[in-house]
A and B are shown apart, each in its own frame.
Chain A
Amino acid sequence: MTCLPPHTDKKLGLVIDLDTCVGCHACVTACKGWNDQGYGAPLSDQTPYGVEASGTFLNRVHSYAVQPDDLPAQTINFPRSCLHCEDAPCVTVCPTGASYKRAEDGIVLVNEEACIGCGLCAWACPYGAREMDLAAGVMKKCTLCVDRIYNEELPEEDRQPACVRTCPTGARHFGDLGDPESAVSRLVAEREGYALMPEMGTKPVNRYLPPRSKDRPEEASLLAPLLDIKAAGLAGWLDRVLGKLP
């Protein structure tokens, strides 16, 4: 049913630490690998070794250059995937009921048996979380590895999303953001985690932890006085003469 549940018992989601993400794309690869073999239609590629290589991915890592007013620019790696919104517009627009949000844990899923591949849910999502699989003709999205997190066949440490399990820098955290005492909720409170595009009114569950503020360069270098190089010789003479001109 594409009516959203008025309340979910849990709000399972991800917390992504932009301070520690190094942009290695291991989460992208792990996600593609896991979702190629289990839940629903495999994530297909079209001409993967051709000129116009293209494929379905549920996770993409962007890199941004962010320029503060008075400091050098920073490079920030930015993984982007489904935010499992509380007010998910992708669910309500679905004409067939294929797109749904689970009342028990808040995960947004697609029932591929009912998906007609109209693409309207992908249009309704501000975050680009959904990609149509061109081979299967159905909409694919992050399942929060619903086939891992409850899977008792797996060792306990593997019962988390593939992207979280694989992240070599621990930049991805998984848990219940509806429980204020959970590890992820405490992390968000501590680091002032934020939601993406709040003006879209989707109430995302996932949170992003902002990069920690960098040291200010003038405070950073103890060698600063020695780095004030004085020009000598002809350059020094030019420096002095030119400096005197109006």
Chain B
Amino acid sequence: MNPAPSVIVFTVLSGMGFGFLALLGLFGVQGWLGFFFWGTGFGLAVAGLVASTFHLGNPQRALRAFTQWRTSWLSREGWAAVITLGLLAPQALSDWLGLGWGRGFGIAGAVGCGVTVVCTGMIYAQLKTVPRWHHWTTPAVFLAFALAGGLILSGVRGLAVIALCLLGVLMAVQWFGGAGRFARAGVTMESATGLGRIGRVAVFEQPHTGGNYLMREMIFTVGRRHAERVRMIAMVSGGLLPVVALVFVPGVAGIGLAAVTHLLGAFAHRWLFFAEAEHVVGLYYGRR
């Protein structure tokens, strides 16, 4: 699949933002430090959501995306994000100004953060047409990234290291399981064309000499060429380096270093998530 920058920025930033917001909702940070923390969380989440609209052909109609929550994970994601941000706003206000409104909004908002990230993952995991994504590891890895990113930003070193280890394991499971999932889905050129009843199918001639939307959007082979390298970058930068920074670099510098390297690793992971995923429509073109 074509790794569109807008969608990569959306999933990475809003994932980290909602992870951070969930922790702030549960535990809270008071005063001006709280203002800064809450601002960072809201900033990341909203920046991601805004980035996602750059992906649209007609963004002026984006509000219509709130209508189909009964069937559409994309619509549910929109609702979950807006409701979550709405729930957390009074909590942020209370924490910043010390209004003492309890943690009710925060706890509800934290649940909302989890739901939002799962919805984001389900937009991709629901697609049977992309076997690599059609698996529980897709929302699980999105959640693990949100949790790890949130804990790093919160500066809770011990828990952040545990979350990063969990993330590393889940990424490995996602990659190892994803490798053969297209083949295991049992979709072939023979079943796509139904000509397997006659014999082995190969492309004799393509239907058009130029490219088209389908090929640009769903047949992206560059990602697979560099998959091993990008996997290594995602694992080292997203998981290993933040752990090293958190364990060995004291103070704010350690947290900052961990956050920056983790974010870079998250971008690498997400780029590969899209770039190496194969869509079944490629079978009609004899490519994946």
Contact = CB atoms under 8 A, between A and B. Distances in A.
B130 A114 contact: no
B212 to A, nearest CB: 6
A196 B194 CA distance: 6
Contacts of B214: 122, 128, 131
Interface string B247-288: 000000000000000000000000000000001110011000
A114 B67 CA distance: 11
Contacts of A200: 128-129, 187, 280
Given A64-B193, A66-B199, A92-B72, A132 B123 contact: no
B163 to A, nearest CB: 30
B195 interface: yes
Contacts of B55: 118-119
Given A65-B204, A131-B214, A138 B71 contact: no
Interface stretch (A69-77, A156-164, A173-181, A217-225): A69-77
Contacts of B73: 93
B129 A124 contact: yes
Contacts of B205: 62-63
A21 to B, nearest CB: 12
Contact of A117 (B1, B57, B189, B208): B57
Given A67-B200, A97-B64, A115 B217 contact: no
B65 A211 contact: no
Nearest to A53: B210
A63 B186 CA distance: 22
A61 B207 contact: yes
A71 B199 CA distance: 9
Contacts of B285: 62
Given A64-B203, A92-B72, A74 B198 contact: yes
A120 to B, nearest CB: 6
A14 interface: no
A3 B127 contact: no
B187 A208 contact: no
A116 B59 contact: yes
Interface of A: 1-3, 18, 28, 52-57, 60-69, 71, 73-76, 78, 80, 89, 91-98, 114-120, 122-128, 131-132, 134, 136-139, 194-201, 208, 210-211
Interface of B: 1, 55-59, 61-62, 64-68, 70-75, 78, 123, 126-130, 185-187, 189, 191-195, 197-214, 217-218, 279-281, 284-285
Given A89-B129, A116-B65, 17 more contacts: A55-B210, A65-B202, A65-B203, A67-B200, A73-B199, A76-B198, A93-B126, A95-B65, A95-B74, A118-B57, A119-B217, A124-B126, A126-B129, A127-B281, A132-B213, A197-B187, A200-B187
21 contacts: A2-B68, A2-B72, A28-B207, A60-B212, A62-B285, A63-B204, A63-B205, A64-B202, A65-B203, A74-B198, A76-B198, A89-B127, A123-B127, A123-B130, A127-B284, A137-B58, A197-B187, A197-B191, A197-B192, A198-B191, A200-B280
